[in-house]
Structure 1
Amino acid sequence: MREKPYHLYVDSRERTLLLHSLVKLKNQLIQQGRYGDCVDEIIFKVANTPIKKVKIEYV
C-alpha cells in the first residue's frame, strides 16, 4: 500500500529556520562519522521547492 503524500506549508522565516536546522543536523552527523546523504536530499528538496502563495482566512 502506498502512503499518502503530505504537504507542508511554511512561510519564508520558517523555511530559513528549517534549512538552518537541517544543515546543523548534517554537520552533527559528519562530526559523528555518519553519512549525511539523506539530509542532503531533504535540504535539496526544501531549497528547490516552488513558492506557492496561499490565502488564509481567519474566522
Structure 2
Amino acid sequence: MRNQKYYIANDEYERRIIINSLNNLRNRLIADGRYSDAIDEILVKFFKASIKKIKRKAD
C-alpha cells in the first residue's frame, strides 16, 4: 500500500505562524526535558517543502 501525499496551500503569513508555533512547542518540550524528535522532523519537512505559485481565478 502506497503512502498518500497531502498538499497544503499556505501564504507567507500562515507559513510563518506554523513555523513559530512548531518552534514554540519544540522549546516547551525541551524545557520540560521531553523528546522533541517528532517536532524536529516536521520542521525539517516544512522547511524543505517547495514553494509553488498558484494561479487563482478572478471572482
TM-score, length-scaled by structure 1: 0.84
* 1:32 lines up with 2:14 in the alignment: no
Counterpart code for 1:13: Y
* Percentage of pairs with the same residue: 41
Aligned structure 1 segments of 4 or more residues deviating by more than 2 angstroms: 1-5
Gaps of 5+ in 1: none
Gaps of 5+ in 2: none
Shift of 1:31: 1.4
RMSD: 1.5
Could you tell me how far apart the structure 2 residues matched to 1:17 and 1:39 are? 15
How many equivalent pairs are there? 59
- Which of structures 1 and 2 has the larger relative contact order (alpha carbons within 8 angstroms, sep 6+)? 1
Partner of 1:46: 46
TM-score, length-scaled by structure 2: 0.84
